[in-house]
Amino acid sequence: MEKKPHFVKREFLPREVSSISLLLLLAAVLLLNALLYLYLNKFYSSSGRSETDPSLCPFGYFKLGTVKNCSPWLSCEAINREVRKLKCVGEGAVKKVFLSEWKENKVVLSQLTNPELKEDFLHGLKMLKALQSKHVVRLLGYCEQQFTILTEYHPLGSLRSLNETLDIPRYKGMNTWHRRLMLAIDYVSIIRYLHSSPLGTLVMCDSNDLDKVLSQYLLTSDFHVLVNDLDALPLVNRSAGRLVKCGHRELQGEFVAPEQHWPYGEEVPFKDDLMPPYDEKTDIWKIPDVSNFFLGHVEGSDIVRLHLFDIHAACKKKDPAERPSAQEVLDTYRKVLTLLIRETAMPGTREML
């Protein structure tokens, strides 16, 4: 007698279910990593991290607004004829700054105010011309005879007003640990660029306190950082035995690096000739304090600080030689950003695996 086949209902065993779940989870993680890679690659290549910029013109030319063609830097004659001052928006020790207009575009006109500081003014112009890149404010023209510089206008102003800007309703969505860390990355990218610039290793000397540092940088409308003031940017040349000193006065306070302090005690009066020079590692000492300002006190900023603790501790080494390079700091910041974005996108992934 022929036996009838028996149809058995197959049930998945717990181990099979677990294996499938694990495979799905791994696939999700791989997809997340691919998307994260694409996002960060776009972030680093298109938001001011690279020195080259396809929108930049050849040396001596500029592009402004929606104009597609490059124009030559404006000459003395063109500035006098075509640029109209609107109002004074700032004044420092070296120059006075005017919001101005050129062919219906708002621009910034800077003019020397103290003839005794003309060398500083001309040095800043020289640096501005030589360092044009995605890290530096765009030069539109200049007139050496009249000590005048014309640059691109950024309505959000300097980094000194960052917190006030982020309190404006239209920008509150930017007030996150993620965006603030990106601004800190911009800042460290600029320091790294200056330390490995086409001219050599440059030190950001106009940085004796936090407020002064923040005044040297601009916040763009798409929330990136540009260096704006390059008047005090001396060159370190170790092979030639050339180090720097930031000014001729005694520097004090915890913000400046230990090697910038007078080393001979209060019993010996300060004398510039006796003050030992130093190198670019003074910029590294200041990075944690500037980054702490960038991070603010938003949700998640303390987690970022925790991840940056070791690199910031290294930046604060008393011996300059033991501090990391700007490139090492930048690499760490980028790794922390990648890690935290991954953990935010898929919380608990590590425990599930």
Q: Please, what's the b/e burial string for 251-289 (b: 16 or more CB within 10 A of its CB; e: otherwise)?
A: beeebbbebbebeeeeeeeeeeeebeebbbbbbbbbbbb
Q: Are the CB atoms for 100 and 88 separated by under 8 Å?
A: no
Domain with CATH 3.30.200.20 in the chain: 69-152
Instruction: For residue 53, give both structure tokens.
Output: 């910029």
Tell me the CATH number for domain 157-345: 1.10.510.10
Q: Are the CB atoms for 48 and 225 separated by under 8 Å?
A: yes
- Distance, in Å, from the CA atom of 183 to the CA atom of 129, rounded to the nearest integer, reads 24
Q: Phi, psi at residue 253, to the nearest 5°?
A: 100, 160
Instruction: For residue 58, give both structure tokens.
Output: 């050849």
Q: Among residues 74, 91, 93, 92, which one has the least CA distance to residue 83?
A: 74
pLDDT tens over the chain, length 353 residues: 555 555 455 554 555 556 676 666 666 656 655 555 555 555 554 444 445 564 678 999 999 877 889 999 999 999 999 999 999 998 888 899 999 999 999 999 999 999 999 999 999 999 999 999 999 999 999 999 999 999 999 999 999 999 999 999 999 999 999 999 999 999 999 999 999 999 999 999 999 999 999 999 999 999 999 999 999 999 999 888 899 999 999 999 999 999 999 999 999 999 999 999 999 999 999 999 999 999 999 999 999 999 999 999 999 999 999 999 999 999 999 999 999 998 887 655 444 44
- Determine how many CB atoms are found less than 10 A away from the CB of residue 125: 20
* Residue corresponding to tokens 């798409």: 222
Instruction: For residue 114, give both structure tokens.
Output: 């103290």
Give the CATH fold of the 69-152 domain: Phosphorylase Kinase; domain 1 (3.30.200)
Domain with CATH 1.10.510.10 in the chain: 157-345
Give the three-class secondary structure for 165: helix
What does pTM read for this prediction? 0.84
Instruction: For residue 324, give both structure tokens.
Output: 């990391």
Q: Among residues 140, 139, 156, 176, which one has the least CA distance to residue 222?
A: 156
